Amino acid sequence: MEKQYGLELKPIGIIHSPYQSGQAPYQGHGQKEICQVELFEEFEEGLKDIEGFSHIILIYWFHQSHGYHLLVKTPWDAKPHGLFTTRSPHRPCPLGLSVVELVAREKNILKVKGLDAIDSTPLLDIKPYVPSIDEKNNAKAGWLEGKLRIEKNTDR
């Protein structure tokens, strides 16, 4: 990763998924495939107590993203929208973020569902998903309102 303005991104692991370039689902929500998140062994101790969380947030680098446009057409609308109102992987700083279900942990390997990253994607960080902090009941979906066919899971 490039060091610039005092910013240095250091991968902490690698994502293993069945998706090759151009094959990842548009969003991971509802995907049944089990993907593996391999944390480099030097960071394994940082996973202590992660098993208590049903979901985690993965932050990763879209390593095959090249270039970007400030106006983007998406699978959900034929009209172009501002890049920062989309989840396109083609961005000035190509960071990806997924909230995934944590299925299991085996030492430094996390098995997860709901991921949309391609195989060999560099992992930058893991954070716990905390419903009382992360869930926003009054959230709006902007131009995406009514365009997604994703039903909210109300099982708790």
Domain coordinates of the chain in residue numbers? 13-68+94-129
Q: Walk along the chain (156 residues) and give the pLDDT tens digit of each residue.
A: 555 678 888 999 999 987 676 655 555 556 678 999 999 999 999 999 999 999 999 999 988 888 999 999 887 788 999 999 887 888 899 999 999 999 999 999 999 998 988 899 999 999 999 999 888 888 887 887 877 665 444 333
CATH architecture of 13-68+94-129: Beta Barrel (2.40)
CB 81 within 8 A of CB 74: yes
Could you tell me if 79 and 27 are in contact, meaning their C-beta atoms sit under 8 angstroms apart?
no
